[in-house]
Amino acid sequence: MKHGPNIATVSALAGDPARANILTALIGGQALTANELALEAGVTAPTASGHLARLLDGGLVAVAKQGRHRYYRLANPDIAAALESLMTIAELTDRPRTRLGPKDPALRRARVCYDHLAGELGVALFARLCDTNAIALSGGDIRVTPSGEAQFFRVGIDVGALRQAKRPICRSCLDWSERTPHLAGSLGTALLNHIFAAGWATRLPGTRIVRFTPAGERAFASWPAAVGPIEMAERASAA
- What's the half-sphere exposure (Cβ side, CA atoms, 13 Å) at 229? 0
Residue pLDDT, tens place only, 121-147: 999 999 999 998 999 987 778 999 999
Write out pLDDT tens, residues 174-186: 888 887 889 999 9
CA-closest candidate to residue 23, choices 74, 58, 67, 68: 74
Percent of the chain, pLDDT > 90?
41
Q: Which residues contact 77 (CB under 8 A, 6 or more apart)?
A: 114, 115, 167, 184, 185
pLDDT digits (tens, 9 = 90+) for 74-127: 988 888 888 888 887 877 776 554 444 445 789 889 999 989 999 999 999 999
Cα(221)–Cα(140) distance, integer angstroms: 26
pLDDT attached to residue 85: 83
What pLDDT is stored for residue 4 in this prediction?
59
- Residue 102: predicted pLDDT: 47
Q: What are residue 156's phi and psi, to 5 degrees? A: 90, 15
Task: Give me the pLDDT at residue 98, please.
Answer: 45
pLDDT mean over 10-27? 88
Strands 116-118 and 111-113: antiparallel
Q: Is the pTM of this model over 0.75?
A: no
Structural domains in the chain plus CATH codes: 7-75 (1.10.10.10), 81-238 (no CATH)
